[in-house]
């Protein structure tokens, strides 16, 4: 039997009005509201023996052929001696003047309908009472209605709910039947793609959590999305989370191939509000933005329209939002409630501070996590927090003396913890309990203001930083976090650093019916399973669809790339690049570990006699696309990029576009206190050596493999991968390299002949 809460029904049927209605008083925390409600209930209890609190009401009904229990608890109930009973619903607010919420009133109506079904009552009194949490002053909205009105209101709410749920069920059933009959959208599977798709299907069917490694260019997006949609039960949803916008584009493309022109499949991409908003910086307030004004009256019609449009990307979303005059970002969230597949960033499910509350009850949903090699690092960042202050920061101006005092106290605490006469500007400190208390006092002072509009931008920035710091205590765990103080030329900061997010990731994955984490670079598998909290779960490498003869993988061991030897490496790198281009003219990427290394190569020792261009620091997305188009236009060109940048992952030059990729150095991140703390944590947790793998080797080798993955994108591509550094031969490095690579260990003087021999092969 499914369950339906009274509040849920009231919100579903009776929500109306503006998006983001103005708030004129400090908000009320959940615990604070419960405490206030208990005080009111105790006061009522002492005043009348006829009063009862937390009275359960329920009814077993059938909604769209599904047995459903509608249930709730009445905050306060007076059983009148003359047969007239009174229902009271308590809501806590600091607003001095409130308007009656239609949802709060509807909740009372539904309670009345349930109660009059159980009791022989002719009339019943309803009261929604807004209570100030400190003064306990009450603002009362009350009315007497007959039992018939109460029961008709209940029947109306259930009818509205059932009608929408039935439409949703019928659409889902059509989708399920259509997907069951839907053939693979291409003429044939790529090599090894079918076996990967079968593994994904079985994993979802068994309710398991799989880590899947599949080579770049093997069609892993389609090999996961197609079987997941094929498996999905009638009212399940599929989440596809990615770390980059290019990954979302690949998922949209795959979903588009599957959906074709049928529109039987509803897919929505959720993008950040600032990327979808077309209001030109207008505040998200009903009085300023027409898309917020009376949003809930128009949004349902826009959602229904989009459900018939198939795959909805940002462009379609903005077009329909314009037509119905609604906020495109909020529209994407409302559509996601009903869509079959939702595509978005990791943070929509993993960031505890900004995750979408409407998807917290995700127990029956399926989850695909793309670029899974990035998951642990991203989630650790989400779980971390920082409070910073500028060295020249003065007391922030504020209409509130309380805020000014609290802000000054936060500044003083941060400076006191971070200032040091030591030569080391970064130190590990104990958990700063006094700073936490000061941050909470600042939050309280801001919440007591009538409007955030009273604060300047700097004050708001400080408020939100304090809010995140205090909220982060909800997921804080001793042993998995460290606190750092940092002093730098611009100011001071205190950091709460998450060292290990594995347990949190495990919880999110297990809150779904089943999940697939996929990437081209999750070797060694045991390492990533530990980072994701899934040491006992299954992991698998998909077979490579590529022939070993498609790629020549060369480790050039006599060009040192250590930091102090970079200047001496530049002439040899130029010789290497010239030799490759002379052996086989074509398009080559050469990837460096930093912009300074790339710039030094470009200025002093670029390829002699060959066209060369390079990525620059701080370039826009448009600049990067211009580079891509320019490289594709030239029959022979060397393009210098930086590992870990936009040209490392999720960018397609197209089949046969590249002849080779040269990776210069390991790209190990520079030593930092933060990374050394991670080393210490994982060495203690998993054994000696694990910390170095997690903190330094894994992020470096991931960039290397992703860079090399730009080369072979189809079964017909051929090319050369040069790994320039003798350290690639070390056993711990070899464990990160793709299992399907056949590697040659060469000196620089041997490369040219080896490459010529490779290209002579048919």
- What's the pLDDT score for residue 423? 73
Structure tokens at 235: 């009212």
pTM, two decimal places? 0.88
Among residues 230, 215, 292, the alpha carbon closest in space to that of 265 is found at 230
Q: Are 748 and 556 in contact (CB under 8 A)?
A: yes
- What's the pLDDT score for residue 223? 94
Question: Which residues, given as ranges, of the chain have pLDDT below 50?
Answer: 650
Distance CA 211, CA 220 (A): 12
pLDDT digits (tens, 9 = 90+) for 348-375: 999 988 777 666 666 789 999 999 999 9
- What's the pLDDT score for residue 288? 79
pLDDT digits (tens, 9 = 90+) for 625-660: 888 888 888 899 999 999 876 665 545 676 668 999
Q: What is the DSSP letter of 499?
A: S
- What's the pLDDT score for residue 650? 46
Distance CA 493, CA 379 (A): 21
Burial class of residue 208 (count of CB atoms within 10 Å of its CB; 0-12, 13-18, 19+): middle
Q: Are 324 and 309 in contact (CB under 8 A)?
A: no
Q: Are 333 and 340 in contact (CB under 8 A)?
A: no
Q: Rounded to whole angstroms, what are the CA distances from 526 to 532, 533, 536, 712?
A: 10, 11, 10, 26
Q: Are 273 and 329 in contact (CB under 8 A)?
A: yes
164-170: long-range contacts, CB 8 A cutoff, minimum separation 24: 164/12, 165/63, 165/64, 166/64, 168/235, 168/338, 169/64, 169/234, 169/235
């Amino acid at each position: 039997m499914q369950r339906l809460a009274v509040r849920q029904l009231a919100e579903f049927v009776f929500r109306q009005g503006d998006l983001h209605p103005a708030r004129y008083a400090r908000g009320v925390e959940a615990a604070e509201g419960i405490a206030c409600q208990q005080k009111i209930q105790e006061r009522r209890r002492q005043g009348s023996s006829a009063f009862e609190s937390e009275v359960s009401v329920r009814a077993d009904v059938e909604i769209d052929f599904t047995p459903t229990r509608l249930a709730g608890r009445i905050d306060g109930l007076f059983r009148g001696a003359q047969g007239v009973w009174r229902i009271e619903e308590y809501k806590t607010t600091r607003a001095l003047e409130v308007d009656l919420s239609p949802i709060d009133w509807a909740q009372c109506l539904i309670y009345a309908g349930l109660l009059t079904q159980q009791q022989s009552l002719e009339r019943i009194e309803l009261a929604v009472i807004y209570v100030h949490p400190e003064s306990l002053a009450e603002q009362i909205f009350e009315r007497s209605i007959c039992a018939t009105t109460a029961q008709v209101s209940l029947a109306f709410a259930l009818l509205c709910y059932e009608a929408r749920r039935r439409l949703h069920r019928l659409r889902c059933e059509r989708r399920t039947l259509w997907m069951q009959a839907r053939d693979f959208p291409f003429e044939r599977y790529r090599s090894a793609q079918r076996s990967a798709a079968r593994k994904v299907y079985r994993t979802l069917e068994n309710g398991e959590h799989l880590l899947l490694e599949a080579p770049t260019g093997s069609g892993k997006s389609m090999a996961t999305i197609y079987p997941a949609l094929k498996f999905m039960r009638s009212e399940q949803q599929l989440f596809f989370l990615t770390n980059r916008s290019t990954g979302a584009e690949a998922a949209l493309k795959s979903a588009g191939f599957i959906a074709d022109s049928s529109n039987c499949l509803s897919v929505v991409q959720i993008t950040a509000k600032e990327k979808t908003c077309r209001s030109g910086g207008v505040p998200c307030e009903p009085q300023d933005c027409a898309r917020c004004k009376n949003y809930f009256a128009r949004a349902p019609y826009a959602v229904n329209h989009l459900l018939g449009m198939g795959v909805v990307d940002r462009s379609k979303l903005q077009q329909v939002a314009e037509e119905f005059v609604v906020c495109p970002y909020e529209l994407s969230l409302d559509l996601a409630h009903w869509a079959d597949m939702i595509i978005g960033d990791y943070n929509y499910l993993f960031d505890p501070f900004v995750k979408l509350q409407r998807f917290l009850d995700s127990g029956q949903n399926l989850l695909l996590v793309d670029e899974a090699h990035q998951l642990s690092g991203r989630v650790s960042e989400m779980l971390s927090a920082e409070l910073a202050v500028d060295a020249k920061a003065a007391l922030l101006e504020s209409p509130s003396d309380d805020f000014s005092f609290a802000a000054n106290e936060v500044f003083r605490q941060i400076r006191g913890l971070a200032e040091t006469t030591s030569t080391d500007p970064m130190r590990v400190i104990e958990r700063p309990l006094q700073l936490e208390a000061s941050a909470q006092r600042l939050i309280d002072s801001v919440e007591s203001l009538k409007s955030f509009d009273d604060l300047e931008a700097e004050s708001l920035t400080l408020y939100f930083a304090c809010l995140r710091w205090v909220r982060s205590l909800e997921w804080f765990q001793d042993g998995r976090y460290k606190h750092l103080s940092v002093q730098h030329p611009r100011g001071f900061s205190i950091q709460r650093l998450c060292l290990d997010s594995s347990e949190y990731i495990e919880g999110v994955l297990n809150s779904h019916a089943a999940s697939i984490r996929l990437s081209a670079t999750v070797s060694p598998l045991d390492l990533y399973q530990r980072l994701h909290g899934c040491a006992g779960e299954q992991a698998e490498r998909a077979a490579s669809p590529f022939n070993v003869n498609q790629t020549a993988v060369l480790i050039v061991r006599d060009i040192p790339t250590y930091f102090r030897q970079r200047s001496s490496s530049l002439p040899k790198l130029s010789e290497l690049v010239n030799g490759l281009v002379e052996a086989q003219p074509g398009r080559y990427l050469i990837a460096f570990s930093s912009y300074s290394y790339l710039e030094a190569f470009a200025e002093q020792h670029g390829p002699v006699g060959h066209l060369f261009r390079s990525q620059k620091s701080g370039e826009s997305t448009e600049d990067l696309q211009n580079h891509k188009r320019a490289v594709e236009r030239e029959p022979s060109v060397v393009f210098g990029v930086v590992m870990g940048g936009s040209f490392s992952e999720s960018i397609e030059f197209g089949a046969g576009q590249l002849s080779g990729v040269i990776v210069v150095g390991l790209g190990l991140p520079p030593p930092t206190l933060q990374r050394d703390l991670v080393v210490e944590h994982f060495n203690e947790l998993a054994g000696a050596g694990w910390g170095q793998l997690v903190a330094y080797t894994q992020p470096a080798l991931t960039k290397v493999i992703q860079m090399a993955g730009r080369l072979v994108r189809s079964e017909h591509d051929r090319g050369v991968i040069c790994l320039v550094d003798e350290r690639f031969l070390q056993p711990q490095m070899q464990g990160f390299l793709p299992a399907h690579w056949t590697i040659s260990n060469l000196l620089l003087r041997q490369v040219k002949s080896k490459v010529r021999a490779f290209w002579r092969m048919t």
